[in-house]
Structure 1
């Protein structure tokens, strides 16, 4: 009993069961978990239960170890405030020239902004948001959100899940929203041979899996149906969803029945013990003062949070010169991710479930400001060769210059002519990076699986900020703002079919008819686009990436 209570005290969730609760708290909604009464926060047509621990705090000797399930709940738990965010990497500052519209800086700052919620390693908690009238017999579908942030930043406090639940009630398909935290950066995705040998690589993905197990055990108490779970994410969260589909030989263990991915799919990454990841590990060890330790991993478990974070902050981030080639993306470890994700996709197996995946038109624009100093063809070639295709011949990489010309009118943001060419190579870099990391992997993903299982794919051409086109993440305002893509998502979570309610018909994707539901910021608001754009370019990038993953 004492150890269970201590765990809850450490998470700031316990309101002692022997204490008299204020009258206004006594009237709040509650859920019974194990031997605990969990107090929620009503908000209009929904109720929020926030900061519930799904695993033991990964602190002390549990740092850099696989997550352990939380002990049974006891006492009274006040779940009316967000739980701690996980420790995050401080992104490199983004310096924009005066020619970039000020709104672009505001948009990027929004991506890098931190929530006003405490940071701690004791962060493995989740939020459950339900319709106000849900009860244990409701058996509602469950949409499980995994946030993005390059596996460096982000938390379950970022997106307003209550908006999704309220909207689901409005359109007659009520769902439950769950959002988990998972460890980030050096605390969740440390690489190197020592990490691989110890079986503690990709810990953030293991955290996600543990949260899914928690949902199976407890979601019925909130009114959810554990057999109707859809996993869903954006960017790094979407890539996480894809890897949850790939792990365990494609066996979902009954943890989910469908998936929804916004701007993410099996990515072009290599192995967790590659020279790049090993050098990062060695530098973290040195900067943490552990280079002379007999067991460096044990030493890393003992240093202070501040020391380990400071070491992590010296490494590249997605906003630095290396851009998408950071050491914090998941890599193949032989266990959770047996082989590089794109290679594994083609070799199989993968979960045979219906899924939706899509992209924004201009995926590469906001991640290409870190290389504005790359201004010539030779510098562009050297950058791509040394940063992304390190084991590919210069001649093979040089073909990319022909496929992605320096002409601004051919670059991203697309269909803007010579506008927004912030440097001689910016629009070329944005076009290449958007295809290399997001569009081409998504196309490979859907084309490989469309004849095997139900697949739907979309393209968002909604531009909310002038100067960067329909940029990475812009569809989030639609999904979390009651827009059409959000309605499709809700129906898919509820029925495994995004169509219905008189909405514009979204056809299944097939090789014979590779059609993308396209969302526009002008009329027509919705139409269909053939998934054939930049076919030669993407086919070539996929060929290089399969042979030489990052």
Structure 2
């Protein structure tokens, strides 16, 4: 990629393409980057990690950070990788097991998948650069995704062009039942939240080894979207964590996915998987494979058989809408009901940004919805392990009535887009119940307990090719935050400007734990004589912290308007989700609880 001139660094965006896997081929140079790590598991022996140079970046692909979670290590806590020799990190690694149709630019799937990727400036490994580190945790509903998808060079290249280089780390964590098992058997065998443990081990690896790649282990920012953001928020329930120093959570907070004690939630999906794999007879706990437990049996079935059973189970109407595999209260990583822990001030005091897309819920509700045949109150039941108490459902639907003008996408009046009017009602409930209210609860509880290094945003961007009924839906902001949009792919110049603004805020946060950064006029790459122009381009608008109850500041991010708003929209409606009885029923759900 050709160098960006000083003027371009201040005034225009890089030509950007789709955020797929790191492009390979023509721009590869002949230099071979290496880094020497000295992990504890190598007993002091230096380990040379060899990568590739692409697009002016040193890139290391598929570095194992854990022993393969196969055989006896299936459903087990991840074990640190024991290195017996040097590591060749030149090939994009496979994703963890998932429905292959969910992958973007995948390099295959494998149960042996606990690897990470590192992208940094050319020649920085082995130096004392101590660059900030940004660690991305991908989303995908806890059942899909891979770090490789986010190995594009655009964010790194933009950062370097504005004299703020950093190290990007992406990694894999186990998915579906392999990493997020629920049910009594999983609880009894300590197999809950294994994916969170994968994430913790990856962050421990970064803390131990990232200095060898030019990174600063004391300036690590984790950022993620959807399931990635939920994961980060759950990791922040550890009040003493020292694995990261800033957090950016895009469309996810601790209870976005309803959760409860591992042993008491989503037993049905576990049992269905056990039956589909032949590990459980329909009428008896004795397995088809003898007297061994269903858990022991599931550890031994072929990976493909187990994966196919989980896909079939998730596609069942009973479980299609719910997070049947996801975080749960295990008494350890998640010690209690998150909404209650936050209320009690039990969270890490780490600077954070938490935001949402304006119309999050429109992505999740099928357009063939017919509320005449299936009422919204019944559809809400599918989000939870067991049906909601009728009074709870009534309270929710009373606050969010079937009035198209009040539904999502918001601000579209009585337009129903040819869909059942109840579609807008349900998308509004999901947007506010699962996303907006949970973000507000986290922010406001943090502020109430004296922590003020908090920022919030509302993203209202557009995505070419999306149907009108999507609005600013879930996940679309990721392209903008990674700089993976371009006028060549039907985005507008204004869209690219919004992307630049988001990248600037995110990079500033990685450097300073504050999205506003420092005085932009000190940036040697931005030599505009007009300091107002420099500030406008590289820092858009000053992002005021959220400090409840003094204010409810939030940054409104759209292609035509970047400005401070108050996070008080639909305040009365959303208050239904803050009542203690609602929090208990909606965000700490147990099987069989009415």
1:294 equivalent in structure 2: 292
Which residue among 507, 513, 518 is the counterpart of 1:496? 513
1:281 and 1:547, CA in 2 relative to 1: closer, same or farther beyond 3 A? same
Q: Which runs of 5+ in 1 are unaligned?
A: 1-23, 92-111
After superposition, what is the alpha-carbon deviation per residue over 1:485-538, rounded to whole angstroms, capped at 9, x for unaligned?
12101110111111143211000101111111111122xx30111100111221
TM-score (norm 1): 0.86
- 2:501 pairs with 1:484: yes
Distance in 1 (alpha carbons) for counterparts of 2:30 and 2:162: 32
Residue 218 of structure 1 pairs with residue 214 of structure 2: no
What is the CA–CA distance in structure 1 between the aligned matches of 2:582 and 2:161, rounded to whole Å?
44
Distance 1:390 1:304, change over 3 A: closer
Secondary structure of the equivalent of 1:127?
A: strand
Retained in 2: the 8 A contact 1:265–1:445? yes
> Helix, strand or coil for the counterpart of 1:200?
coil
Who is 1:94 aligned against?
A: none
Structure-2 residue corresponding to 1:20? none
Query: In the aligned structure 2, how far is the partner of 1:491 from the partner of 1:161?
Result: 20
- Per-residue deviation, 1:542: 3.1
SS class of match (1:315):
helix
Q: Judging changes above 3 Å, is the alpha-carbon distance between structure 1 residues 400 and 181 closer, same or farther for their aligned structure 2 residues?
A: same
Q: 1-side partners of 2:387 and 2:319: how far apart? A: 17
1:457 equivalent in alignment to 2:456: yes
Q: 2:260 aligned with 1:271, yes or no?
A: yes
Partner of 2:96: 86
1:49 match:
60
Separation of aligned partners in 2, 1:386 and 1:496:
39
Post-superposition offset of 1:25 = 9.2
Question: Secondary structure of 2:211's match?
Answer: helix
Q: 1:264 to 1:297 in 2, by over 3 A?
A: same
- 1:40 alignment counterpart: 51
* Match 1:121 to one of 111, 117, 121: 111
| Range that drifts further, 234-243 or 400-409 | 400-409
Could you tell me how far 1:415 is from its partner in structure 2?
A: 1.2
Shift of 1:187: 0.7
Runs of 4+ in structure 1 off by over 3 angstroms are: 24-27, 272-276, 319-324, 385-393
2:306 to 299, 305, 308: 308
CA distance in 2, matches of 1:437, 1:144: 25
Q: CA RMSD in A?
A: 2.2
Change (3 A) 1:46 1:25: closer
Identify which range, 482-491 or 537-546, moves more after superposition.
Answer: 537-546
How far is 1:114 from its partner?
A: 3.7
1:280 aligns with 2:239: no
- Deviation, 1:146, is 0.2
Q: Is the 8 A contact 2:105 2:149 kept in 1?
A: yes
Cα distance in 2, alignment partners of residues 138 and 320 from structure 1: 53
Matches within 5 A, 1:394-543: 394-419=390-415, 420-450=417-447, 451-464=450-463, 465-467=466-468, 468-481=470-483, 482-500=499-517, 501=520, 502=535, 503=539, 504-511=541-548, 512-522=550-560, 525-543=561-579
Structure 2, unpaired ranges of 5+: 1-27, 39-45, 281-286, 484-498, 521-534, 590-594
Q: Show the 5 A alignment for 1:178-217.
A: 178-217=169-208
Count of residues in correspondence between the two structures: 499
> How far did residue 171 of structure 1 move?
1.7
Alignment partner of 2:355 out of 354, 358, 368: 358
Q: 1:308 to 1:193 in 2, by over 3 A?
A: same
Question: Residue deviations 1:204-256, cap 9 Å, x none?
Answer: 11000000010011101000010111111000000000011113xx111x211
TM-score by length of 2: 0.80
SS of aligned partner of 1:406: coil
* Structure 2 contact 117–170 (Cα < 8 Å) conserved: yes
Q: Tell me the CA shift for residue 346 of structure 1.
A: 1.7
2:331 aligned residue:
334
